[in-house]
Amino acid sequence: MRIKIGNAKYFKGIINTLHQITDELTFTTAAKGLIFRQMDPSHVSMIDFVYPKQAMDDYIVNPDEIDKQITFNVPTFLKVLKSLNRDTQIVLESTDDEKLLVKLVESSIQQNFMVSTLEPDIELPPAPKLTHTAHVKILTKALFQAVESFKNVEIIDIRFSTYVDKFVLTTKEKSDVSPIIAFDKDNDNILKIENSETRTWADYSANYLYPFLKALKAIADVITLRYSSRMPLEIEPELYNQMQFKFYLAPRWHEETKDTDAEDTDAETNVATEEAVEEEEIPIPTTEPIPMKPINWAKYI
């Protein structure tokens, strides 16, 4: 196997983003390119990523290496990529002793590193098949800053609400400070809002969103959010050269979410002020933080 990537710094950004759900990455060397599809240890989030061969300078995989898995420790690998310039190229080669030879090439200087590989202990899970009612295309930096506002005041549960003309982040956690962030469809940070329902809502964890978006904003300026009420969130960043990337996050879960949210279907509800948000007929969670429930992704396959 020999893989050459022209922009090593961008590749490092991708690895760092994947690192947000696991310390051990497993790539599959498929005929169409490198495939990464893995869940975090708690099975709350998943990333489905394809680095197509046309996005690489070279992608040479022998017939006996097709669908072979390569697993390595991410912190160790990132140490190798610690000091990179925009013009640095990276070459990955397999060795006879099951190690990964990493070559960093810049001008006439080449640095070689031998990275130990690990025994793969995962099966490639099928990609989820979800039905979405809400679609929001937003600048990555804007969503990151919104999530950061909740994280800064130690609020974990963030409620995403999408209407036909606005996207709103609120919370029902008990707190002295409760951020309310609304993006109208004409907001400069919003590129598109679509919703087949009057209102779509779900609760997601800032503990998962924050580190992922922090890493993602280094490689993607625009992302698309897709979700349905009380269903997993799908985030798809716009990457270059036909790279395919999807991040899935299970919703926060509590017993009250089994109930309907009181027919909250008033399309003209103004959620731009705290008073209006308090009038929304949304189920109130318990005073304790909502427990994260590991999701059975198999039912979405």
CATH number of the structural domain spanning residue 161? 3.10.150.10
Together in a domain, 103 and 202:
no
127 located within any domain: no
Together in a domain, 201 and 169:
yes
pLDDT surpasses 70 at 256 = no
Q: Per-residue pLDDT tens for 164-211? A: 999 999 998 877 888 999 999 999 999 999 999 999 999 999 999 999
Which of 14-23, 101-110, 265-274 bottoms out in mean pLDDT, i.e. has the lowest? 265-274
Together in a domain, 153 and 283:
yes
Rounded to two decimals, the pTM is 0.85
Which of 68, 89, 116 corresponds to the end of one domain?
116
Contact 52, 243 (CB under 8 A): yes
17 located within any domain: yes
pLDDT of 83 reads 80
- What is the domain range of residue 49? 2-116
Together in a domain, 223 and 83:
no
231 located within any domain: yes
* pLDDT averaged over every residue in the chain: 85
Helix, strand and coil in the chain, % to nearest 5: 20, 35, 45
Give residues with Cβ within 8 angstroms of 201, minimum separation 6.
159, 160, 161, 162, 229, 230, 261, 264, 282
Together in a domain, 24 and 99:
yes
Which of 85, 116, 147 corresponds to the end of one domain?
116
138 located within any domain: yes
Together in a domain, 112 and 173:
no
98 located within any domain: yes
pLDDT surpasses 80 at 257 = no
245 located within any domain: yes
Task: Report the pLDDT averaged over residues 204-227.
Answer: 97
pLDDT of 269 reads 33
Instruction: Give residue 279's pLDDT band: very low, low, confident or very high (50, 70, 90).
Output: very low
Count of structural domains, the chain = 2
Among 198, 243, 201, which Cα is nearest to 220's? 243
129 located within any domain: no
70 located within any domain: yes
Together in a domain, 265 and 228:
yes
Q: How would you classify the pairing of strands 244-249 and 45-52? A: antiparallel
Together in a domain, 159 and 275:
yes
Give residues with Cβ within 8 angstroms of 47, minimum separation 6.
17, 18, 21, 36, 37, 38, 245, 246, 247, 248
Amino acid identity, position 101: L
Q: Where are the beta strands (DSSP E) in 164-260?
A: 166-170, 181-184, 190-195, 199-205, 222-227, 233-237, 244-249
Together in a domain, 182 and 73:
no
Together in a domain, 140 and 224:
yes
Together in a domain, 106 and 191:
no
pLDDT of 255 reads 52
Together in a domain, 97 and 138:
no
Q: Per-residue pLDDT tens for 116-147? A: 999 987 777 888 889 999 999 999 999 999 99
pLDDT surpasses 70 at 216 = yes
